[in-house]
């Protein structure tokens, strides 16, 4: 506890700001039903009502309360992005560690598969696959996780490559330890700092990916509230000088910036860089 406090006190203001934003978002996401005046998909008024009493941020194209949708959007978008990133990391690190630890043809095979996947632009590939298999949250999570795991694979493999040549890994091999032990006990703990930092960064990309897919109509499907599709649905308002559609976009931008601040700080700590 003391250590955590000391750590926080040594953090630069940008990182503290980032942490604050992340905690605030998480709080909002978790307590969404308590914080919102209306239901997520409840139609409570006329279409496109302006800001004012009753509807702090007005209503959307179907007459649902914008503020409510915005808060629920945090829950859906962040939750799904977190799940997807976690899945991508699980897949990417396990394969990356495998490639580095076994090396030889396993490494060759996995690396070439990843090369092929990385050669295709992720968004186009995602759109294509989702059109074929059909749009559902499960499909989207799986597709994005696989696409993002290629980047994680590259990092995990590179980091693990530096670790598996260490004498302590050699000692474990000579002891007769199995692959799983070497990967989880010798490699993973030492590869963790860069992977955690990458997690924050990847989370941003996944988040943007989902928002982009939703904006294009292939991501989270209505009536579930999510920031990407909220921008699309209400985009016409901008032509009337109403900034409401920019609110979900700003929410996305703010979270991305906040996560990056924290990741930057963490990277500095992990790599031991000064200044």
Partner 1 sequence: MSEHNDKDILVRIRGLRIEGQSGDHWTEIVHGVDLDLHKGEVLGLIGESGAGKSTIGLAAMGFARDGCRITGGEILFDGTDLAKAGEDEKRKIWGARIAYVAQSAAAAFNPAHRLIDQFTEAPVQHGLSSRAQSEEEAKALFARLQLPDPDGIGLRYPHQVSGGQLQRAMTAMAMSCKPDLIIFDEPTTALDVTTQIEVLAAIRDAVEAFDTAAIYITHDLAVVAQMADRIMVLRHGNLVEEGETRAMLAAPKEDYTRDLLSVRSFRRPEHPIPAGEAPLLKVDNVTAAYGDVPVLHGVSVDIHRKRTVAIVGESGSGKSTLARVITGLLPAKSGAVSYDGEEMPLSYKQRGKDQLRRMQMIYQMPDTALNPRQRIRDVIGRPVSFYLGLTGKQLEDRVRELLTMIELDPDDYIDRLTTELSGGQKQRICIARALAAEPQLIICDEVTSALDQLVAEDILKLLQRLQDDLGLSYMFITHDLATVRAIADEVVVMYQGKVVEHGPKTEMFKPPHHDYTDLLLSSVPEMDPDWLDKLLADRAEQAKQGRVLKAADH
Q: Does 10 bind partner 1 (CB under 8 A)?
A: yes
Q: How far is the CB of 159 from partner 1 (least distance, A)?
A: 14
User: Least distance in Å: CB of 10 to partner 1?
Assistant: 6
Shortest CB 19 distance to partner 1, Å: 19
Stretch binding partner 1 (CB under 8 A), from 73-81, 118-126, 149-157, 169-177: 169-177
- Can residue 177 be called a binding residue for partner 1 (CB under 8 A)? yes
- Tell me if 180 contacts partner 1 by CB under 8 A: no
- 190 lies in the binding site for partner 1 (CB under 8 A): yes
Q: Given the complex with partner 1, which of 2 and 167 has the nearer CB atom?
A: 167
Residues 126-145 that bind partner 1 (CB under 8 A): none
CB of 11: closest distance to partner 1 in angstroms? 12
Of the residues 107, 139, 161, 173, which one makes contact with partner 1 according to CB under 8 A = 173
Whole-number minimum distance, CB 274 to partner 1, in Å? Answer: 7
Judged by beta carbon, residue 158 or residue 166, the one nearer partner 1 is 166
Residues in contact with partner 1, shown as a per-residue x/- string from 53 to 82 under the rule CB under 8 A: ------------------------------
| DSSP string of the chain, one letter each residue | -HHHHHHHHHS-HHHHHHHHHHHHHHHHHHTHHHH-SS-TT-B-SSTTPPSSSS-TT-B-TTSBBHHHHHHHHHHHHHHHHHHHHHHHHHHHHHHHHHHHHH-HHHHHHHHHHHHHHHHS-HHHHHHHHHHHH---HHHHHHHHHHHHHHHHHHHHHHHHHHHHTSHHHHHHHHHT--HHHIIIIIIHHHHHHHHHHHHHHHHHHHHHHHHHHHHTTSSSPTTS--HHHHHHHTGGGGGGT--TTHHHHHHHHHHHHHHHHHHHHHHHHHHT---
Q: Sign of the CA dihedral 180, 185, 190, 196?
A: positive
Establish if 232 lies at the interface with partner 1 (CB under 8 A): no
Phi-psi region of 174 (alpha: psi -120 to 50; beta: other; left: phi over 0): alpha
Does residue 27 belong to the site contacting partner 1 (CB under 8 A)?
no
Does the protein bind partner 1 through residue 175 (CB under 8 A)? yes
Contacting range for partner 1; rule: CB under 8 A; set: 17-25, 183-191, 225-233, 260-268: 183-191
Residues near partner 1 (CB under 8 A) are: 10, 166-168, 170-171, 173-177, 185-186, 189-190, 274
């Amino acid at each position: 506890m003391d250590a955590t406090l000391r750590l926080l006190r040594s953090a630069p203001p940008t990182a503290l700001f980032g942490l604050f934003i992340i905690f605030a978002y998480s709080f909002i996401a978790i307590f969404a039903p308590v914080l919102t005046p209306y239901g997520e998909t409840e139609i409570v008024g006329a279409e496109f009502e302006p800001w004012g009493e009753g509807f702090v941020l007005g209503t959307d194209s179907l007459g649902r309360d914008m503020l409510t949708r915005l808060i629920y959007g945090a829950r859906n978008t962040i939750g799904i992005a977190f799940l997807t990133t976690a899945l991508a990391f699980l897949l990417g690190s396990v394969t990356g560690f495998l490639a580095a630890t076994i090396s030889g043809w396993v490494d060759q095979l996995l690396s070439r598969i990843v090369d092929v996947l990385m050669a295709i632009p992720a968004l186009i590939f995602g759109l294509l696959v989702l059109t074929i298999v059909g749009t559902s949250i499960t499909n989207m999570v799986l597709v994005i996780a696989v696409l993002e795991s290629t980047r994680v694979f590259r990092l995990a493999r590179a980091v693990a490559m530096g670790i598996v040549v260490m004498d302590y890994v050699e000692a474990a091999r000579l002891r007769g330890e199995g692959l799983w032990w070497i990967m989880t006990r010798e490699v993973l703990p030492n590869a963790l700092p860069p992977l955690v930092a990458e997690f924050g960064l990847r989370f941003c990309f996944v988040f943007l990916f989902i928002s982009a897919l939703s904006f294009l109509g292939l991501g989270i499907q209505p009536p579930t509230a999510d920031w990407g599709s909220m921008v699309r649905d209400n985009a016409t308002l901008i032509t009337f000088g109403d900034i409401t559609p920019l609110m979900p976009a700003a929410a996305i931008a703010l979270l991305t910036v906040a996560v990056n601040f924290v990741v930057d700080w963490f990277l500095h700590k992990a790599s031991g860089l000064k200044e």
